[in-house]
Structure 1
Amino acid sequence: MKRGWFYLIGFALLMGFDTLAQISFKYAGTHALPVTADIAWLLRVFGAPWIYGAIVGYVGAFFTWMSLLKHAPIGPAFAASHLEVVSVMLLSVWLFDEHLTLPRVLGAVAIVAGIVCLGLAESREHVPEADEGPAPA
């Protein structure tokens, strides 16, 4: 599999798992209200099916992230691993009736622009110059 496809599929999976975890935690927390420091609250938390979605999301994200770290450069990989901030924000508008505000949209644009800049910088560092000649053996 070409490296580009590996990264694309890997980061899409990572974003999906991270988004699942965050959205599931929101649902689980909402269904477990009010928060109290007792067994009844813990039973409400673990009685909500969404808590298991959060666990699946975090376990999936962990294994996906570990696989990506074997191959991806750490700078762009770390930045791209935060794309779930944008996906969670967009899904929260639909699922939780939250509002998109100008600062949120600008923040999302800044996150995506930063990831694109890091990715471009990383790809240019690994492209050999035309006048360098062959690499020494």
Structure 2
Amino acid sequence: MIDSKTGWLHERLGTLVLWALLIGFESAGQIASKVGGDQLGQMDFTLHWLLAVADNPGVWVAIACYIGAFFVWMLILRRSSLSLAFPLSSLVFVGVLLGSWLGLGEQISVLHWVGVAVIMGGVALLAEGEQT
């Protein structure tokens, strides 16, 4: 039987799973928001617009993703310092960029890819600094 204090969720694998879930939920939420917004098109902020938003599947997927991300974030913060966890959450930028490119067919410039490399390098430095 897995002890709740030493189970997989409290070990390194659990940490990686939580981070993957957070990045996945947050990235999917952003992409779903984009899709939902595109489906709504240009509308004035009226009751009709609010009803259209409430009836849009992309909006509901985004809300579900943000709720999932909230609970995963709470689990991450229980085991990490905010000073490390918050900068690491910038990996969501990488997830959104990749999702935009792969899922939405957006063109990504070389400068954006350089930015991804800088973010990943910064995350690697933060993680290394935490271990020493």
Bigger radius of gyration: 1
Contact kept, 8 Å, 1:31 with 1:44, in 2: the verdict is no
Root-mean-square deviation (CA), in Å?
1.3
Paired with 1:7 and 1:113, the residues of 2 have a C-alpha distance of 19
What 5-or-longer segments of structure 2 have no aligned partner? 1-7
Q: Taking structure 1 as the reference length, what is the TM-score of the superposition? A: 0.84
Pair 1:44 & 2:52 matched: yes
What 5-or-longer segments of structure 1 have no aligned partner? 125-137
Match for residue 103 of structure 2 among 78, 84, 95: 95
Residue 10 of structure 1 is matched in structure 2 by 18
- What is the count of residue pairs matched by the alignment? 124
Residue 83 of structure 2 is matched in structure 1 by 75
Contact kept, 8 Å, 1:7 with 1:72, in 2: the verdict is no
Between structures 1 and 2, the one with greater helix share? 2
Give the counterpart letter for 1:121 in structure 2.
G
